[in-house]
């Protein structure tokens, strides 16, 4: 088992030394501000430029939250790596990784484990957290809604907002697609759309925080695990949040 590192502060178990939930809450607030930014000139075609950038960022931020949160859980309780092994997860660390990170391995173990794990879809998120803690954070309805957000983001990033035949008629951002022309009309992203997505992702992230913290506490108790004091002090921060505005 990995030995505890002496003189560790509880925040060192989190990537960037900030609980991922706290970081994500701040990023969501920033996205709402960016969404209100308009073009410098009176250009009708680019009125929603700030909202587009914010919408793209939301997906990246949420994926980062899911990855960093999982890393934090493993940093705090490395014993969970056995659960991943039992589910045939590829959790091998290279000798170079061990050599390069030997000094901080007790607090960066989870970061190395999840570095190459995909958290870009609801299926991937549910799959990893199920293997790790036995929970599936996203319900079927939430997974469907998250997929719609991904589709909108994909259209913005890969097609410059221009509607394509592959883009279905019902997505998270509501509009009259049926009256639109493929390869002619574009997706109109407004600050209100970003705010709605922010509300959904914030609620989802807090659900993940609470469910994973509770599942981790249950795992520790069930397996009679005695965490070091810094690890125990870090555990409640998994469920930490910024005050609502």
Query: Hey, what long-range contacts does 49-56 have (CB within 8 A, 24 or more apart)?
Result: 50/191, 51/189, 51/190, 51/191, 51/193, 51/194, 52/156, 52/161, 52/189, 54/191, 54/194, 55/152, 55/153, 55/156, 55/189, 55/193, 55/194, 55/197, 56/153, 56/156, 56/157
- Measured distance CA(233)–CA(9) in Å, rounded: 9
Residue 139's Cβ-side half-sphere holds a number of Cα atoms within 13 Å equal to 6
59 within domain boundaries: yes
Collect all residues with Cβ–Cβ distance below 8 Å to 112 and sequence separation of at least 6.
93, 97, 101, 105
130 pLDDT higher than 70:
yes
Instruction: Indicate whether 235 pLDDT > 90.
Output: yes
pLDDT in tens, 155-165: 888 777 776 76
- Containing domain of residue 140, as a range? 10-160+190-239
Q: Tell me if 47 is assigned to some domain.
A: yes
Residue 175 has pLDDT above 60, yes or no: no
221: Cβ contacts below 8 Å, ≥ 6 apart: none
Q: What is the pLDDT of residue 207?
A: 97
Q: Provide the pLDDT for residue 94.
A: 77
Q: Does 71 reside within a domain?
A: yes
Determine how many CB atoms are found less than 10 A away from the CB of residue 140. Answer: 9
Residue 182 lies in a domain: no
Instruction: Provide Rg for the chain, Cα atoms.
Output: 20
| DSSP letter, residue 182 | T
Summarize pLDDT for 3-40 with one digit per residue, the tens: 556 678 899 999 999 999 999 999 999 999 999 988 77
Q: Quick check: is 167 in a domain? A: no
Q: Say if residues 33 and 123 touch (Cβ distance below 8 Å).
A: no
Name the more confident of 242 and 188.
188
Q: Would you state the pLDDT for residue 170?
A: 46
- How many domains does the structure of the chain reveal? 1
Model-level pTM? 0.88
Instruction: Give domain status of residue 150, yes or no.
Output: yes
Q: What is the pLDDT of residue 244?
A: 59
Confidence of residue 183 (pLDDT cuts 50, 70, 90): low
Q: Look at residue 82 and tell me if it is in a domain.
A: yes
In a domain, 174, yes or no: no
Query: Sign (positive/negative) of CA torsion 204, 207, 213, 214?
Result: negative
Please check the confidence at residue 127 and state whether its pLDDT lies above 70.
yes
CB 210 within 8 A of CB 69: no
The pLDDT mean for the chain works out to: 86
Q: For residue 179, is pLDDT > 80? A: no
Residue 16, helix vs strand vs coil: helix
């Amino acid at each position: 088992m990995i030995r505890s590192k002496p003189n560790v502060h509880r925040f060192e178990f989190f990537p960037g030394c900030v609980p991922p939930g706290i970081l994500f809450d701040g990023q969501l607030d920033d996205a709402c501000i960016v969404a209100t930014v308009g073009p410098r000139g009176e250009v009708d075609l680019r009125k929603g430029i700030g909202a587009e950038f914010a919408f793209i960022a939301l997906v990246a931020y949420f994926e980062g939250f899911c990855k960093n949160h999982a890393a934090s859980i493993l940093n705090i309780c490395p014993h969970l790596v056995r659960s991943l092994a039992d589910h045939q997860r590829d959790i091998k660390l290279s000798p170079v990784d061990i050599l390069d990170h030997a000094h901080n391995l007790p607090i960066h173990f989870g970061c190395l484990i999840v570095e190459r794990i995909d958290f870009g879809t609801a299926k991937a998120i549910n799959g990893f957290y199920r293997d790790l803690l036995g929970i599936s954070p996203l319900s079927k309805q939430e997974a469907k809604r998250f997929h719609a957000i991904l589709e909108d983001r994909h259209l913005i990033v890969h097609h410059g907002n221009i509607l394509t035949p592959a883009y279905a008629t019902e997505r998270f951002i509501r509009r009259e697609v049926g009256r639109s022309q493929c390869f002619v009309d574009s997706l109109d992203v407004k600050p209100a759309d970003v705010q709605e997505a922010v509300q959904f992702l914030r609620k989802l992230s807090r659900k993940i925080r609470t469910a994973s913290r509770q599942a981790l506490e249950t795992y520790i108790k069930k397996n009679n695990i005695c965490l070091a004091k810094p690890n125990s002090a870090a555990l409640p921060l998994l469920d930490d949040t910024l005050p609502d505005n």
